[in-house]
Chain A
Amino acid sequence: MSVAAEESVDLAATSVRELNQRLHDLDPSDTSRWRITNPDGAHSVAVGLDAPIEVEIAGHVGYYCAGMNKLATVRVEGNAGVGVAENIMSGTVIVEGDASQSAAATGRGGLVVVRGSASARCGISIKGVEIVVLGSVGHVAGFMAQRGVLVVCGDAGDGLGDSIYEAHVYVRGEVAGLGADCVAKEMRDEHREELGRLLEQAETGFDAGEFRRYGSARKLYNFDVDHAGEY
């Protein structure tokens, strides 16, 4: 078991499969640091990690980078393709550039920070992950989001929070349109506290007071007995 060792892997010379196997073979208590070079848009870089290691990726990655992440900290020094940190369980994934569609989709825990913007369906169907996007998000962000938090420091596209359950959504800029059953909600102390913590953790420099909160009107997913005759 290595402690705080530093490993370098050049994806121009090593396959993604070989890299991921080496990362999967680590002891669960390993805390080593990894530097991945020449990702050049490759898919599935550093997926399925399950140890508190640190992984830096020097460049742009393709689809599903850091998917299913547990415990590890993965930093992408570039843009990420579709489905970055999909189904993340815990740990932290940071994208220094932009993220493509479905960032952090279905994530169950951990923190995902996108320092640029994220495109469509950011945080779709999340179940506990906390997401902070310093830029803007595309359409239908937080679609069917069940639990967790989506913080958008820029603007949100059309259909924000469509069919949302109990996830918390905070937006600092303009919202092009709210999705079905998503409404603006009162910002209470517990929300200011939660948002303030995430803004600080993601090093955004923004203040919780600049944001509005959105969430479920709870009319769509709750069966209303008064409407029974309409079915």
Chain B
Amino acid sequence: MCGIAGLFSKSTEVEEALGAHLSAMLSQLADRGPDSAGVALYRDPAPPGSCKVSVFSPDPAEPWHSLAGELAEEFGGEAGPEVRASHALFVVAAEPAAAQRWFAERRPDLRVMSIGERIELYKEAVDPREFVERFQLGEVAATHALGHTRMATESAVTTEHSHPFSTGLDLCLVHNGSLSNHNRLRMDLRKRGIEFQTDNDTEVAAGYLTWRLREGDDLEQALHACIGDLDGFYTFAVGTIDGFAVLRDPIACKPAVLAETEDWVAMASEYRAIAVLPGAEDAELWEPEPGRVYSWQRAALGAA
């Protein structure tokens, strides 16, 4: 099964309470995905020349502050950390590639979940209702965010196998469904230099998008290419630095509902996750057509 939620604010009120709204949405979707939960939040841009790095450690006693000290020593500046449960966020005074290289060389035991100007990515193999408490999502402000609740069908139930998956700088993917040609596709993508950290099917879709974007596709083209190259069932939601995009497979095996008011745009696997949003009863509601890419960007709103 699995549940997907996405929320995009069009007003300051919604932006300030976005974490609380997303928490309510994920809690509604808990019985679609009680194994694990995860979110990608877009907020607090890093200063120019710096990047935000979300890192997971399986060690609950991970000394995050000494890691921040090492980062500051290497790159200067104040790196953080902002610790949320098993994850920590660092603002590294370096270009993303340099930050990524540093983590790969110095701390290969840690898992870098996302890198970008605005993205923060948190996920854990725990019930969604517990997840939102443990990661204190209720108090987070963000311009937009994606969330996922997982009921695993294709691979193990671990934090690493949970969604969202990073697909590049400030990009992430959540997925409801399953892919059947992911093993072959993973082999092909590895030959093209795309790296994978798990045997999860969604990570292959994320890697596929990374590859298409690297080859020059824009997000819409990359998502359209999925229709031809990915075999399986999917509703995808992709988070970008300034918005999100939604695609359902052409047969529409997996559900999705879109909703819009003057204050927000939301997508969810089911309406009940939208019903918890303010003004949902008067929202414009529709089911996205199969095989069609829907996207929202902040720029389109004329936002600063």
Q: Which residues of A contact B (CB under 8 A)?
A: 40-42, 59-60, 62-63, 79, 81-82, 97-98, 100-101, 119-120, 138-139
Residues of B near A138 (CB, < 8 A) are 252, 289-290
Closest chain-A Cβ to B227's Cβ sits at a distance in Å of: 14
Say whether, besides A41-B270, A79-B285, A120-B290, A60 and B252 are in contact (CB < 8 Å): no
Q: Check B252–A119 contact: CB distance below 8 A.
A: yes
Closest chain-B Cβ to A42's Cβ sits at a distance in Å of: 7
Closest chain-B Cβ to A122's Cβ sits at a distance in Å of: 12
Closest to B28 in A: A41
Q: Does B255 contact A (CB under 8 A)?
A: yes
Q: Check A60–B270 contact: CB distance below 8 A.
A: no
Near A by CB (< 8 A), chain B positions 245-284 give: 251-252, 255, 257, 270-276, 281
CA distance A67 to B45 in the complex (A): 49
**Given A40-B276, A81-B255, 19 other A-B residues pairs in contact with their CB atoms under 8 A:** A40-B271, A41-B28, A41-B271, A41-B273, A41-B275, A59-B281, A62-B270, A79-B271, A79-B285, A81-B270, A97-B285, A100-B255, A100-B257, A100-B287, A101-B252, A101-B255, A119-B252, A138-B290, A139-B290
Closest chain-B Cβ to A82's Cβ sits at a distance in Å of: 6
Residues of A near B251 (CB, < 8 A) are 120, 139
Interface centre among A62, A63, A98, A120 (most CB of B within 10 A): A120
Q: Does B286 contact A (CB under 8 A)?
A: yes
Residue of B252, B271, B290 near A62 (CB, 8 A) is: B271
Say whether, besides A59-B281, A60-B285, A98-B286, A120 and B252 are in contact (CB < 8 Å): yes
Closest to A121 in B: B252
Residues of A near B270 (CB, < 8 A) are 41, 62-63, 81
Residues of A near B257 (CB, < 8 A) are 100
Closest to A42 in B: B272
CA distance A138 to B272 in the complex (A): 22
27 contacts between A and B (CB under 8 A): A40-B272, A40-B275, A40-B276, A41-B271, A41-B273, A41-B274, A41-B275, A42-B272, A60-B271, A62-B271, A62-B272, A81-B255, A81-B270, A82-B255, A97-B285, A98-B286, A98-B287, A100-B255, A100-B287, A101-B252, A101-B255, A119-B287, A120-B251, A120-B290, A138-B289, A139-B251, A139-B290
CA distance A139 to B290 in the complex (A): 9
Residues of A near B274 (CB, < 8 A) are 41
Closest chain-A Cβ to B281's Cβ sits at a distance in Å of: 7
Closest chain-A Cβ to B258's Cβ sits at a distance in Å of: 12
Q: Check B275–A139 contact: CB distance below 8 A.
A: no
Residues of B near A59 (CB, < 8 A) are 281
Residues of B near A79 (CB, < 8 A) are 271, 285
CA distance A119 to B288 in the complex (A): 9
Closest chain-B Cβ to A76's Cβ sits at a distance in Å of: 12
Closest chain-B Cβ to A179's Cβ sits at a distance in Å of: 13
Closest chain-A Cβ to B273's Cβ sits at a distance in Å of: 8
Say whether, besides A79-B285, A98-B287, A100-B287, A41 and B252 are in contact (CB < 8 Å): no
Closest chain-A Cβ to B195's Cβ sits at a distance in Å of: 37
Residues of A near B281 (CB, < 8 A) are 59
